[in-house]
Structure 1
Amino acid sequence: MPAKSLLIFGVTAITLFAAPAVPAAPALATAQAAKLDDGSGAYRTRRYRNLLAERLGVSPQDTHRKIESAFQQLFHGDGQEQRIYFETGANADGPLAYVTDWANNDARSEGMSYGMMIAVQLGKKREFDALWNWSKTYMQTTDPANPSLGYFAWSMGTDGSARAVGAAPDGEEYYVMALYFAAKRWGNGKGIYNYQKEADAILRGMRHHPLVSATTPFRIHPQDPPFVEPDMPWPSPNNRNEQAQAAKEGKPWPPHRPNHAPRQVTVGPMVDETHAMVRFVPETSIPGSDPSYHLPAFYELWARWAPPEERAFWARAAAVSRDYFVKTAHAQTGLGPDRADFDGTPLPMWDGTPGAFSYDSWRTISNWSVDYSWWGKDARQTALSDRVQTFLAGQGIARFADRYTLDGKPMSTRHSTGMLAAAAVGGLAATPGQVPDAFLKALWDTPVPAGEQRYFDGMLYLMSMMHLGGEFRIIDRPPAP
Structure 2
Amino acid sequence: MRKTTKLSTLILATAALLSSVSATAFAAPFPAHNPPGNLHAGPYPDAFARAGYSKRQVDAKVNTTWQQLFHGSPGTDANRYDGQTLYYQLAPDLAYVEDIGNQDVRTEGMGYAMMIAVQLGHKQEFDALWNFAKTKMQIQSGPEQYYFAWHTDTTGKIIDTGVAPDGDQWMAAALDFASGRWGDGRGTYDYGQQAEQILHAMWHESDHGGVDMFDRQSSLPTFSPPFAVDYTDPSYSLTGFYKVFAAADPSDRELWDKAYTAGENLLQKAANPVTGLAPDYAHFDGTPYLRPTETVTDNAYDHNFQEDAWRAIANANVDASWYGVKPWETQYSNTLERFFQGQGVSTYVSRYHLDGTPLTAGQNTYEPAHAEGLVAMNSTSAISATNPDKNGFVRDFWNTPIPTGRARYYDGMLYLLGLLYDSGQFRIWAPHGNHN
Per the TM superposition, whether the score is higher than 0.5 is yes
Question: For residue 214 of structure 2, what is the aligned residue in structure 1?
Answer: 271
Q: Secondary structure at the match of 2:160?
A: coil
Q: Secondary structure at the match of 2:166?
A: helix
Q: Secondary structure at the match of 1:141?
A: coil
Q: 1:178 to 1:465 in 2, by over 3 A?
A: same
Question: For residue 391 of structure 1, what is the aligned residue in structure 2?
Answer: 339
Do structure 1's residue 438 and structure 2's residue 392 form an aligned pair?
yes
Q: 1:48 to 1:432 in 2, by over 3 A?
A: farther
- Give the letter aligned to residue 364 of structure 1: A
Question: For residue 58 of structure 1, what is the aligned residue in structure 2?
Answer: 53
The aligned runs of 1:278-289 (5 Å cut-off) are 278-289=221-232
Q: 1:139 to 1:84 in 2, by over 3 A?
A: same
- Give the letter aligned to residue 277 of structure 1: L
Q: After alignment, is 123-132 or 337-346 more displaced?
A: 337-346
User: Do the aligned partners of 1:52 and 1:468 also contact (CA within 8 Å) in 2?
Assistant: yes
Q: Secondary structure at the match of 1:107?
A: strand
Do structure 1's residue 328 and structure 2's residue 282 form an aligned pair?
no
Do structure 1's residue 184 and structure 2's residue 180 form an aligned pair?
yes
Q: After alignment, is 444-453 or 204-213 more displaced?
A: 204-213
Q: Secondary structure at the match of 1:361?
A: helix
User: Do the aligned partners of 2:40 and 2:435 also contact (CA within 8 Å) in 1?
Assistant: no
Do structure 1's residue 135 and structure 2's residue 133 form an aligned pair?
yes
Aligned length: 392
- Give the letter aligned to residue 474 of structure 1: I
Q: 1:179 to 1:45 in 2, by over 3 A?
A: closer
Question: For residue 413 of structure 2, what is the aligned residue in structure 1?
Answer: 459
- Give the letter aligned to residue 452 of structure 1: R
User: Do the aligned partners of 1:182 and 1:195 also contact (CA within 8 Å) in 2?
Assistant: yes
Question: For residue 236 of structure 1, what is the aligned residue in structure 2?
Answer: none
Question: For residue 5 of structure 1, what is the aligned residue in structure 2?
Answer: 13
Aligned-pair CA distance for 1:61: 1.4
Question: For residue 474 of structure 1, what is the aligned residue in structure 2?
Answer: 428
- Give the letter aligned to residue 79 of structure 1: P
Question: For residue 316 of structure 1, what is the aligned residue in structure 2?
Answer: 258
Do structure 1's residue 73 and structure 2's residue 68 form an aligned pair?
yes
Deviations 1:279-338 (A, max 9, x none): 1112255411110000111101222x2232111111121111111111110011100011
1:455 and 1:429 mapped to 2: Cα distance? Answer: 27
Aligned-pair CA distance for 1:142: 3.0
Question: For residue 201 of structure 1, what is the aligned residue in structure 2?
Answer: 197
Q: 1:43 to 1:307 in 2, by over 3 A?
A: closer
Q: 1:430 to 1:138 in 2, by over 3 A?
A: same
Question: For residue 422 of structure 1, what is the aligned residue in structure 2?
Answer: 377
2:243 and 2:211 mapped to 1: Cα distance? Answer: 24
Q: 1:41 to 1:437 in 2, by over 3 A?
A: farther
Q: Equivalent of 2:281, from 329, 336, 339?
A: 339
Q: Secondary structure at the match of 1:87?
A: strand
TM-score with structure 2 length normalisation?
0.85
Q: 1:50 to 1:41 in 2, by over 3 A?
A: farther
2:197 and 2:152 mapped to 1: Cα distance? Answer: 22
Q: Secondary structure at the match of 1:99?
A: strand
User: Do the aligned partners of 1:41 and 1:376 also contact (CA within 8 Å) in 2?
Assistant: no
Q: 1:280 to 1:65 in 2, by over 3 A?
A: same
TM-score with structure 1 length normalisation?
0.77
Larger radius of gyration: 1
Q: 1:366 to 1:86 in 2, by over 3 A?
A: same
Aligned-pair CA distance for 1:165: 1.5
Question: For residue 356 of structure 1, what is the aligned residue in structure 2?
Answer: 304
1:424 and 1:340 mapped to 2: Cα distance? Answer: 24
Gaps of 5+ in 1: 10-36, 214-266
- Give the letter aligned to residue 45 of structure 2: R
Gaps of 5+ in 2: 3-10, 18-32, 76-82, 295-299
Bigger relative contact order (CA 8 A; separation at least 6)? 2
Aligned-pair CA distance for 1:162: 2.3
1:43 and 1:8 mapped to 2: Cα distance? Answer: 35
